[in-house]
Structure 1
Amino acid sequence: MPIRVLIVDDSKLIQAVLTEIFDDDARFEVVGVAENPHEARQLIKDTEPDVLTLDVEMPKMNGIAFLRNLMRLRPMPVVMISTLTAQGASVTLEAIEIGALDFVEKPSDLAHSMDEYRNEICDKVVAASQVSRLKLLDIQQRLKDGVAEVEGSNYGEKSQREEASHRQIASHRICAIGGSTGGLEALSNLLRGVSFSGKESILVCLHLPSGFTTSYAKRLNGLLPITVKEAEHGEKVLQGVVYIAPGGRHMEVAKKGNGFAIRINDNEPVNRHKPSVDVLFDSVAMNVGASAIGFILTGMGRDGALGLKRMFEIGCKTFAQDESSSVVWGMPGAAVEEEAVMKRNVLPLEHLSARISDYYRAK
């Protein structure tokens, strides 16, 4: 059966583009197009779509208010269609916290990016359609809890004293983390479960576009007791810092003096992704060695599986999020299939947090 898609967007152009994309692919059936959330409510009742594509900014009721009501009353797979300005990125993060499964950036130049946009939106809608009803209900509850914590925090407002006290100590113990669909919330929950000692140096690669990771890093920075930042080319890897790969560019770790440094490049996509988890994991295997530790989280596709296997083969401890706690078990499942992770190290998200804590407590 085709995946039944309802498009909710006030832009006639985006309506037409999305309709054409889905109509040209036999995997999908567009069951309706709504210009605002009020129309969408009735169409959801009438058509019972499998997946909703939802614009953030619309008249009468914005996408966030509509999504909040939807996830409270009728949880369903939602892929946000976002304009990733600084404000748009912040709103998209809020949508993820409320319950959206993923997002796609509105293309700025359809003439030159149509094929890439077509592949991205189709892949993400397929992944969203595979999420079970029970998983949606579970995500709904966990995200409600997460939203309450975020709303009660002061993210991005750490005191100058706290930031100034950050120790400029080079790191020799590297934790590398990769993920994709569902990875934004998974990473947040994973790191919030860590008992931080201040010795942690964590490198993260998620499949994110440019213009998004600055806002995401700032949001995480306010939730965690250590610094979270978008990685910069050439900077030293220090203790007490989480480095997020910049959207749209690859991140690697390289040897530098008696420690390590970040390398950012704009090379071609790997596994159709930039940043690619395989690029990060391969660099860890090559330049850090067996002392490193690697985690692969929820995500669509196979990116990261072979890189994690290379880490495993040189002696790194490797871990994968289990299927029950993953939104999409593509990337972790591929790592298990490639024998990049021992079966006992395929664990629920909360157990993975403890493994990071243990790694940095060990002498």
Structure 2
Amino acid sequence: MTIKVYVVDDSAVVRQALQHLLQDDSTIALIGSAPNPLIAAPAIRKHRPDVLLLDIEMPGMDGLSFLRQIMAEAPIPTVICSTLTSAGSSMALEALAAGAVAVIAKPRLGLKQYLEDTRRELVQTLKAAARARPRAAVASASGCARSTARPTTPPAPAGRRTLSVNKPVLIGSSTGGTQAIESVLLALPADSPGIAIVQHMPEKFTAMYAERLNKVCAMTVREARDGDRLERGLVLIAPGGRHLQLRKAAGQYFAVVADGPHVNRHKPSVDVLFRSAADCAGPDALAILLTGMGDDGARGMKLLHQRGARTVAQDEASCVVFGMPKEAIRLGAVDEVLPIGRVAAAVLGFDARG
């Protein structure tokens, strides 16, 4: 199957370089390009591409506004390629929150040579994006005005455990996970059980992502630090470029943040977190595997399942990419398959079991 790609970038040099690079791959067809969204929009409506490769800084309409418009009307898998999305850039998080499947940073100088050097990564990203089913961003991340105040905490369900009880919730995700995680956390009250999260994300992005979530969620959200206690009302995000594990001491769970080799091509890796929880928490844990490409987390979830943990996978219909959950289901590692809109209720239900 040929992947149809459309490029929107105001640089003629970039458009020409991309045309040159992509023509060497028989599975990718560049069906058109435009210098700005105003010209691109009617062409895209007439001949819908499989993947949109989009710049951010353009005349007439910026790429983020165009991305939000696309996601609201008829979502197209979109890869952002921009000089404004360097490591740690808030613009990159805005793009992911708006529905971009992936973000590629390009330098302001030496663009043509850079694209040549990163051809393989670019082609792989486009092929991966073609398998995605993007969805409109949740309201708080869509670029619309949002309050910086924390949402009102919903009433605790009947039978809710006391604050002294500490049973960890673990969440792993990749492509599409920034939106999925936000939708889950927005639905949880401030005294929910402690949550440890691995979201595949580059170094420097995770701290900013945690800060973003902390502004809109009732729970406290921050990037995990070595030695942090996983307590009620707290969400710890694995830092990019480091692995996150759990250890148990005196009945409490603590974060272990450390360097190490990539696992399943990822650092942080969901499997690393899940396996550590299988060793120290077992039946006390709830593990959730959300949207993502590949199989990271599936074998760790299988181990958790064998140790008596409760395991949940996101369903195919609500996933951007049904890769990681699908693999966990294939391995027989999943107790329940749920749409993303019911995952928060599963967390609260697990918490209320006593």
Deviation string for 1:314-356 (max 9, x for gaps)? 11010000111111111100000011113xx011112221110
TM-score using structure 2 length? 0.84
Gaps of 5+ in 2: 153-162
Determine if the alignment matches structure 1 residue 231 to structure 2 residue 224.
yes
Gaps of 5+ in 1: 159-168
Distance in 2 between the 1:60 and 1:243 partners? 40
The aligned length equals 342
Match of 1:346 in 2: 337
1:335 to 314, 328, 332: 328
SS of the equivalent of 2:104 reads strand
The answer (yes or no) to whether the contact 1:156–1:218 under 8 Å persists in 2 is no
Match of 1:240 in 2: 233
Change in 2 beyond 3 A, CA 1:116/1:220: farther
1:265 to 258, 262, 284: 258
The answer (yes or no) to whether the contact 2:85–2:103 under 8 Å persists in 1 is no
Match of 1:175 in 2: 169
Q: What's the offset of the Cα at 1:54?
A: 1.0
Change in 2 beyond 3 A, CA 1:157/1:328: closer
Amino acid at match of 1:191: L
Q: What's the offset of the Cα at 1:174?
A: 0.8
Determine if the alignment matches structure 1 residue 313 to structure 2 residue 275.
no
Q: What's the offset of the Cα at 1:117?
A: 5.0
Change in 2 beyond 3 A, CA 1:113/1:8: closer
SS of the equivalent of 2:65 reads helix
The answer (yes or no) to whether the contact 1:197–1:361 under 8 Å persists in 2 is no
Determine if the alignment matches structure 1 residue 68 to structure 2 residue 73.
no
Change in 2 beyond 3 A, CA 1:319/1:13: farther
- Cα RMSD of the aligned pairs, angstroms, is 3.3
TM-score using structure 1 length? 0.82
Deviation string for 1:104-159 (max 9, x for gaps)? 34479999998995555444433332345xxx5xx23xx3645579633216999x
Determine if the alignment matches structure 1 residue 53 to structure 2 residue 47.
no
Distance in 2 between the 1:34 and 1:284 partners? 49
The answer (yes or no) to whether the contact 1:127–1:328 under 8 Å persists in 2 is no
Deviation string for 1:44-83 (max 9, x for gaps)? 3565321101122233421112223333444322122254
Amino acid at match of 2:183: N
Distance in 2 between the 1:208 and 1:171 partners? 31
Match of 1:26 in 2: 26
Q: Percent identity?
A: 38
The answer (yes or no) to whether the contact 2:200–2:240 under 8 Å persists in 1 is yes
